[in-house]
Structure 1
Amino acid sequence: MNKKSKAKQRRNNSFCNKQLWQVINLIFACVSGLFIFIFISLLPLEEEKVGGRKSGGYLRRRLTAMAENDGTICRFEVQGRISSMAYGDATNACLVSTIMNGTHIFNMDSSCGAPTRYVAQLESFPHQIIGGDPIVSSCFLSSDSSLAVGSSVGGIAVVSRSSRSVVRCYNFQDEAPVLSLKEVPHEPSLLLSASPVGVQAIDVERSVVRLSLAVPKPRVVGAVAITRNSFAVANYDGKVMLYDARCGIDPVTVLSLPDQITSIAVSPDTRALVAGTVGGRVFVMRCLVSKLREEAFGTGKTRSPVRCVAMHHGRIAAGDISAKITLLDSGDCPAPTMYWTAHSLLPHVVATSSWGVSSVLLRKDSLWGAFTSSESAASHVVMLPP
């Protein structure tokens, strides 16, 4: 091979090597850009720190969630074990309380261009703001402008969302756990609280008891306000006691269920009562005018003790200790019963059998469920289609 051919070959090899390095650099730049895009997309769209210290401040985050392939509309991970949830219709917000890791409010907004795209603005109240005791119950108050939390040692704190501070405090009798907190309809300053030993209607503005209900052989699991003057108290022994505040503090009617009761809720539209039981059944009790007075439903062929219930527009949601959510229809032409489990909704998270459903919420356009585990430091909140 002559010198000209060798020189030409060296030039060709140099040109090919140069092109090869350009292609490699281009591929590296594309891959790097892709990783940066993924990293940025995982960050909150907005984050604002309000408050003096990092440990005691108040966080606002704007989160975006898309509909999942498994039918989940939104899914949120919350640090700590969730003890209760409540929904505020005035502000379209979901209140999520953990035992020892604070309380969070998800302000939901679906008006962001797509029906399957939701934006949630998150308000987080650190545990030291609402008190240092374990939180077991919570609810909204005064058109969602404040929230009330009940502790395991009988303390009730009312927290203002505007000032981010406790504005009222009350201690329950005998320092018993506050199992449930419910705002009385059309009484924005009246809070119905239940402990295993009794039920009280508390005036949160004055921090005084307005009414203390007489519960025979109390083993209370929860209480709800049916109307302004009508209350229902569920006892573990299967008794549901109805009260009329205009007639005194004693029950006016006692309903007996053939099972031990674990939870109770009231439908906000029909004011019907629904109770969950140890045997994995739910019972509907219509205390107002209705063609049907009482109905019973099972939660499937394989039943576990029901831990929480909710009812809205004739539909019933029940969550049990086996991490199953059941959606029942009590209408005249009922829709098929639907089931969700932690294994189907959280396949990459659930690795043990210790998961359970700690709370459920049922609205016209959504079903909320909270999954907790004794072996996990985080809980999961899912929003499902109705």
Structure 2
Amino acid sequence: MSRHAQHPVRSVDEHLRAVTEALRSVRPRAETVSLEDALGRVLAEDLVAPLGLQPFDNSQMDGFAVRAADSRRAPGEDGHVPFVVVASVPAGHVPDPLGPGEAAPIMTGAPLPPGADAVVPVEETRPGGFPAPGTVLRLPPDQPAGRFVRRAGEDVAEGDTALFAGQRLTPARLGLAAALGCATLPVRTRPRAVLYTTGDEVVAPGAPRGPAQIFDANAAILRAQLAEAGVEVLAAHLVPDDAGAFAARLAADAALRPDLFVSSGGVSEGAYEVIRQVLGPQGEFVHVAMQPGGPQGLARPEGVPFVCLPGNPVSTLVSFEMFLRPALTEVVGAPAPRPRRTVPLAEAVRPLPGRTQVRRGVWDGTSVRMVGGPGSHLLAAAARADALVLLPPGDAELPAGTPVETLSLD
């Protein structure tokens, strides 16, 4: 009998859907933050433009503001039309109206003078440069109206929805909010989590280590992954192989009112699987057809989603990237999805029958090569990787050059 026969078997896609549905109850509230603190956050409300962009007609470049119709007068012997230079229009200053036959030196971003409807670049003028007011300037004929003019509201009209609730705030979106005069934005609060790592064999880094013990890498991995995903860790506990102790710890942590619980370890078939022992009656523990990261669990103690990940360090890391991170993106709107690309293998690789194998790799811009073996304990190899390589189930070796899907970790 298979060692996984006690657990139902799920595909990778099926378990991702299950984790995503488990997180549907996460309901972030709204808070107001400064633009400086809003990068990567998720907008809580639509942003309706309080003004148009551009807020006024302005010049797209340094040149001369003119009435386009005046350039359709008969040109002189040199083929150019004479204009009289008037006062300059610097950016940030309100210009005087422009009369017939006049040309106002104008700087990029400066408001177009009333009456003007085109801008002629300075390099097209004769004699060139920006001569003093009263000088006769010669410009090319037949200038089209609207040339090098940024029209008021052509980017965003006042009253339009400039940004939508649920959008993740990128640099460009923050720039748009700033251009609309917003110093703060309403954003969804960060989901809050309580984190558990398990096992009598595990001790905290820096603590005395017994001869049969190892330092806890999983808490550091998950803390960093949760922080990178925009999740606030309310508390993190190293849980011994004692079901009663874990049950008491879980009951106490429920008072913190987290949005979710996350654990690593204690979910397989061993005699000391405390997470499964405590949560089994109210959850589901399955085996996902994936290596590493086969044993997985989901529960809802006190109605709060609890995502149970396997305990080997690389299994923890891979499971978070394959399930919890994309589920958060789907439900909360952040973090940004990991880039996926299809690239050729740099070497031959043998997949696993009946299971998706998630190998660690390095992408050199041309192909992806494996880093270390498939073992879930090879953390140093995982630390050198910048991609997860998703090998579909199969019996035949995949030769070098075979296209495979990768998940970028950069």
The verdict on a shared fold, with TM-score over 0.5 as the criterion, is no
Q: If each structure's helix is expressed as a fraction of its own residues, which one has the higher value?
A: 2
TM-score (norm 2): 0.21
Calculate the TM-score normalised by the size of structure 1.
0.22
Q: Based on CA coordinates, which of the two structures has the bigger radius of gyration?
A: 2
Q: Between Structure 1 and Structure 2, which shows a larger proportion of strand residues?
A: 1
Using CA pairs under 8 Å that are at least 6 residues apart, name the structure with larger relative contact order, 1 or 2. Answer: 2
